[in-house]
Amino acid sequence: MARKIIIDTDPGQDDAVAILLALASPEELEVLGITAVAGNVPLALTSKNARIVCELAGNIDVPVFAGCEAPLRRRLVTAEHVHGKTGLDGVALPDPAMKLQPAHAVDFLIDALRAAPEGEITLCPLGPLTNIATAFTRAPDIVGRVREIVLMGGAYFEVGNITPAAEFNIYVDPEAAEIVFKSGVPLTVMPLDVTHKALVTKPRVEAFAALGTRVGEVVASWTRFFERFDLEKYGSEGAPLHDPTVIAWLLRPELFSGRHINVEIETASELTRGMTVADWWGVTDRAPNATFMGDIDAEAFFALLTQRLARL
Ligand code: BDR
Ligand code: CA
């Protein structure tokens, strides 16, 4: 039976590729809903972009909900410098005909978790953790009902991308991240340590383009667009494709390796706000709360992604 997931997201080109990968994998994954959150760009755009991506995938039945428009206690920080003004810059796509669902994303999360058998739904956050933390705070009874959370966020060896100390998703809403990391729900984390090994090199972009489909062409254009920023910054051979690693782990966990360790979120210091203090070396006696990934078989990851995108 397909695993039931909810994708919580701030598209973003890499979020968009993650959504496509999930929608292209119905044998393994049933997407119950997509909940949009403010992050890479404001909520009005992330909730629109999520629908644009569903339509691109030819899937207009998956319900899309708009969630929180600002972090719990901070002003929203966005990332147009990476993703462009729309969040999906790189290729012009039509406005969606699909409507947003009338319910708030947080209410959907609460209702879906209460309605499903305990331990059935997996949450896949790909942006700041505001929606998930708000749902957990408002309805603590749902926390124990989540099967697990598989998220993109944080860093240890790679430290930070939005500041020297912090990764974007955790930095934007550190208080929300702290709630999620302390929730007791089994957590699998894809930090920059993994995603900075999932580089969209030239042959990999060409493989998307060579699919000869609209989806292949769009994914190639998106990755070429955000590549310009990361290439300049890191001087690496391609830009990291962060968020699809979450979905890839659900499909092929053997492509990843990591450690079950303690991870705490820095919320007090302005200098290191949003840092994921990961006890990778086991130097404290703090209880493990997350499986923190460290490595990926990038060749196999891109082969899987390209093969699945070919289905759309
Ligand atoms: C994360 O931040 C966003 O810019 C990406 O979509 C990804 O989720 C990487 O730090
Ligand atoms: Ca994202």
Cα–ligand 1 centroid distance for 141 (angstroms): 29
Q: Which atom of ligand 1 is nearest to the CA of 152?
A: 8
167 Cβ below 6 A of ligand 1: yes
Cα–ligand 2 centroid distance for 284 (angstroms): 31
Distance CA 229, CA 138 (A): 38
15 Cβ below 6 A of ligand 1: yes
**Among 14, 126, 190, residue to substitute to test ligand 1 (most atoms within 8 Å of Cβ):** 14
pTM confidence score: 0.98
Q: Which helix (H) or strand (E) holds 66?
A: strand 64-66
The active-site residue, picked from 83, 196, 242, 260, is: 242
The position carrying tokens 């790189």 is: 90
In this structure, are residues 260 and 148 in contact, taking their beta carbons and an 8 Å threshold? no
Structurally, how many domains does the chain consist of? 1
Residuewise pLDDT in 10s, the chain (312 residues): 999 999 999 999 999 999 999 999 999 999 999 999 999 999 999 999 999 999 999 999 999 999 999 999 999 999 999 999 999 999 999 999 999 999 999 999 999 999 999 999 999 999 999 999 999 999 999 999 999 999 999 999 999 999 999 999 999 999 999 999 999 999 999 999 999 999 999 999 999 999 999 999 999 999 998 877 777 777 778 889 999 999 999 999 999 999 999 999 999 999 999 999 999 999 999 999 999 999 999 999 999 999 999 999
How far apart, in Å, are the Cα atoms of 101 and each of 108, 111, 199? 9, 14, 35
Non-local CB neighbours of 121 within 8 Å, separated by 6+ positions: 4, 5, 6, 32, 112, 113, 145, 146, 147
Cα–ligand 2 centroid distance for 38 (angstroms): 10
SS3 8: strand
Residue 100 lies in domain: 3-309
**Among 81, 167, 169, 222, residue to substitute to test ligand 1 (most atoms within 8 Å of Cβ):** 169
Where residue 73 sits, what CATH number does that domain have?
Answer: 3.90.245.10
The position carrying tokens 């669902």 is: 101
Q: What is the 3-state secondary structure (H, E, C) of 231-285?
A: HHHHCCCCEECCCHHHHHHHHCHHHEEEEEECEEECCCCCCCCCCEEECCCCCCC
Quick one: which ligand is closest to 196's CA? 1
* Catalytic-residue membership of 81: no
Q: What is the DSSP string of 72-116?
A: SSS-----HHHH-SSSSTTS--PPP-SPPPSSBHHHHHHHHHHHS
Angle value at C-alpha 226, between 221 and 228, nearest 5 degrees:
105
Q: Which atom of ligand 1 is nearest to the CA of 126?
A: 8
